[in-house]
Amino acid sequence: MSASMHVQGDRALESFLKALGPTLERRIIRQALKAGGAQILKRAKQLAPKGKTGNLRRSLAVSRGRRIRKYPHGNLVAILGPSWPLGAHGHLIEKGTRLRKTKDGASRGRMPAQPFMGPAFEGRKERALRVLREKIRQGIKRELAKVRQGK
């Protein structure tokens, strides 16, 4: 999922957003990315196969530790999905496996794909973007109120 915002026009708003800089990034955008990602994860948890232990569902998370990353070009990205170690096998469930054999040639079969993250993303991406936009809007209003109270 990719979303970008470009502000054009009102110089006062542009200078306000520039002045917010690190605050906007840390508080507002990161919280918005978490909230948007949570929308997708709700659906992924519903779609993920339970399995014997339920570890895969329990491991689904958004933004644990450094899972929201800032890249050199300035984009912030939320990484969501199964987390290690409980969900280390999540990619195998999502994509399936081909026929597997041990070193001595014994067949271990194949595992058909049971996609859960892809369908969750496709089904909830519009809702996640709405939540993301609303959280950013609320955060900017909150920061603007703080600036106004300080004057």
Query: Are the C-beta atoms of residues 114 and 44 closer than 8 Å to each other?
Result: no
Domain spans in the chain, listed from the N-terminal domain onward: 11-150
pLDDT of residue 64: 54
CB under 8 Å to 135, separation ≥6 — which residues? 28, 31, 32, 35, 36
What's phi and psi for 126, nearest 5 deg? Answer: -65, -40
Distance CA 20, CA 73 (A): 18
Distance CA 68, CA 57 (A): 20
pLDDT of residue 107: 92
Would you call 109 helix, strand, or coil by DSSP?
strand
Q: Which residues of the chain have pLDDT under 50?
A: 1-8
- 59-93: per-residue pLDDT in tens? 999 865 556 777 777 677 888 899 889 999 999 99
pLDDT of residue 5: 42
Provide the whole-model pTM.
0.76
CB under 8 Å to 45, separation ≥6 — which residues? 57, 60
Longest dimension (CA), the chain: 76
